[in-house]
Amino acid sequence: MGSLVTLQKTPVPDDPELIGFLDTGLAEPPTFDRDWFDRLLLWATDHRVSDVTIQAGNFVFVERYGRLAPVTRRRWTAAEAYRCAQAIYGDNAPSQLARGEDIDCSYEIRRGRHELARYRANLVAARAARERGLEITLRTLPTTPPTLDSLDLPADLRAHLVFEQGLVIVTGPTGSGKTTLLGAIVRHLLEQPDSHRKIITYEAPIEFVYDRVPRSHALIAQHEIGDHIKSFAAGVRNSLRRKPMVILVGESRDAETIDAMILAAQTGHLVYTTAHTNSVPETLNRLVEPFPVQEREGRMAGLLESLRLIVTQRLVRTTDGRRTPVREYLHFTTAEKDALADAPLRQIARVARGLVRAKGRPLTTDLNALHVAGRISDEEHHHYREVGTQLDPLDPLGGAAVRPVSSPEDIADG
C-alpha cells in the first residue's frame, strides 16, 4: 500500500481544483458504472480511506487520515449521482430523496466466498448548480471489530468497561471512533470463555459484524433500525422480553429511547449507547434535555442511578499524517453519584467538571501529553485545547491530582 504522497499524481486535465489528486489506478469510465464504483470502494477499504463523498456537480472525494482528496478527473452529473443512489439503496431512492427524506443504510460488496466489504451510507438531496442534486457519503467499515488490546486503552479505563448492569455511554462527533470502541467491547464479551452472555444490538445501520469472532458460551443478535425493527426505543422494549444480559443501542437521540435505556439499566441489564457530545458534563445535560423542563430533575436522578461510565473521544491528526484518539472519561461510583445528586440541576455540569478533574481524566490530559511528546503540532493542539473538560489552571500538564473533593460546593467552584 502506497503512502499518501506516493498515491498523489498530477491529474489530467490540469484543473486547479484537482490539486492533491489521489490516483486509484482504476480506469475512470465516461459515465457511472456500477462495477467501477464497487472497485473504487474496495480500493478505499484497502487504502485506509475512512469516507467517500459523492456530490452532484463535483469530483468524487475521499477522506484519508482526516485529509480530503479528489479521486476522479471528471465531475459527476446529478443523473450519475442518482444512479449511484439507486445502486446503493434501490430504485425508490430518487423518490424518497425528492420527498425531503434522507436515507441511512448499509452497502455490501462480496469479496470471494466468505468475505464482505461493508459501508455505511447516507444519502440526502442537496443543491446543485442548475438542478436538484444530492450528496452521498459512504464510510468504510472493517468487517470484524478490533480487539480491546489493539486500542491501547489506559489501564484504568480498560478496567471499567464491563459491568454486571448499568449504563455505559461513549460520546464524540461523527467519525471519532465511538462504534470502533463499542465493537471492541462486544468482541471482548463474546470471546470470554466464561462469558455466558446474550447480547442484543440495535444499530442504524449495522456496522461491525461478529461472524468471525470465536465464541463458545455467548450469543449475539444484531438488528438494523428501519429494517428489522421500527426504532431504537422499540428495540429496547423488545429486548426486555428476550432476557438479554447486554443491550447495545446505536444512539440515544430522543426521550423515548433514553427512558427505555435507563429502565433497562435499572432492571439488571448492561446497556451501551452513544451520544454526540464533547465532554462528560455536556453528556449529563444532553441526556435530560429531550424531556420537559419539569421532568428533568427526576430524569437526572434516574440517569445517575444507572450510570457506570462516560467516555468522550476525539481523533486528532498526528505529525506523521495519521490520527490518534484523545479521551475524557469518568467512572461513576457511589461517591460521584452522590456528589452530583446533591447539586442543583443548574450546577450539574460544574460539579461534573470538578469530578472529571479530581476522579477521572480530562480530554486535555491526553492532548497535552501528545503535544509535549511532539506527536501533534502546535496548530492541532491549539485547535482542540478547549474541547472537553479543561485542566485545573494550576495543573497545565495534568500531572498532579486536583485537591480532594469534600462537597458538591467545592466541586462547583472548580
Same domain, 198 and 299: yes
The total domain count for the chain is 2
Same domain, 298 and 344: yes
Same domain, 180 and 280: yes
pLDDT for the residue numbered 321: 87
Domain end position, chosen among 121, 141, 161: 141
C-alpha cell at 117: 466489504
Dihedrals phi, psi of 6, to nearest 5 degrees: -70, -25
Same domain, 30 and 70: yes
| Residue 396 identity | P
Same domain, 176 and 305: yes
pLDDT for the residue numbered 378: 95
Dihedrals phi, psi of 30, to nearest 5 degrees: -75, -15
pLDDT for the residue numbered 130: 74
Same domain, 344 and 361: yes
Same domain, 75 and 195: no
Domain end position, chosen among 113, 141, 169: 141
Closest-CA residue to 250 (of 174, 314, 188): 174
CATH number reported for the structural domain that contains residue 64 in this entry: 3.30.450.90
**Alpha-carbon gap, residue 160 to 118, rounded angstroms:** 30
C-alpha cell at 196: 455466558
pLDDT for the residue numbered 16: 66
| Strand-pair category, 115-127 with 132-141 | antiparallel
Same domain, 101 and 221: no
Same domain, 175 and 135: no
Cross-strand partners of 133: 126
Same domain, 229 and 319: yes
Sequential DSSP letters for 315-370: EEE-TTS-EEEEEEEEE--HHHHHHHHTS-GGGHHHHHHHHHHHHSB-HHHHHHHH
Dihedrals phi, psi of 69, to nearest 5 degrees: -150, 140
Domain end position, chosen among 141, 163, 185: 141
Same domain, 281 and 265: yes
From first to last of the 414 residues of the chain, give the pLDDT tens digit.
444 333 444 444 566 667 788 899 999 999 999 999 999 999 999 999 999 999 999 999 999 988 899 999 999 999 999 999 999 999 999 999 999 999 988 899 998 777 889 899 999 999 887 778 999 999 998 888 999 999 989 999 999 999 999 999 999 998 899 999 999 999 999 999 888 999 999 998 888 999 889 887 899 999 999 889 999 999 999 999 999 999 999 999 899 999 999 999 999 999 999 999 999 999 999 999 999 999 999 999 999 999 999 999 999 999 998 999 999 999 999 999 999 999 999 999 999 999 999 999 999 999 999 999 999 999 999 999 888 887 755 444 444 333 333 333 333 333
Domain that holds residue 371: 149-412
pLDDT for the residue numbered 251: 94
Same domain, 335 and 389: yes
